[in-house]
Amino acid sequence: MQNRLGVVGILIKNRENVADRVNHILSEYGHIIVGRMGIPYKDRGVSVIALIVDGTTDEIGALTGKLGSLPGVKVKSALTA
């Protein structure tokens, strides 16, 4: 399966409740994460993480699926063709 380059946006509400689990999942998929930027957006009460990923659609799908299953976590991704 061919690797694809993409961007994953993660929006987290109630960071203190899920931060450990989010970081554990990101660590688990560290081999496909090229870059990561995290911003606590206090005015809106959320944290935002942007990832650049390079992996198979299965790997990226597994990463986004695990993150999206956490309470208060929303995930969107855009991949190259």
Cα–Cα distance, 53 to 79 (Å, whole number): 9
CB 79 within 8 A of CB 41: no
Q: Are 42 and 48 in contact (CB under 8 A)?
A: no
Q: How many domains does the chain have?
A: 1
pTM of this structure:
0.93
- Report d(CA 55, CA 69) in Å as an integer: 20
| pLDDT score of 16 | 87
Question: What residues of the chain score a pLDDT lower than 50?
Answer: none
CATH no. for residue 52?
3.30.70.1150
Q: What is the pLDDT of residue 72?
A: 96
Domain that holds residue 8: 2-77
pLDDT of residue 81: 74
At 32 the pLDDT is 98
Tell me how far apart the alpha carbons of residues 59 and 18 are, in angstroms, rounded to a whole number: 21
pLDDT mean across residues, the chain: 96
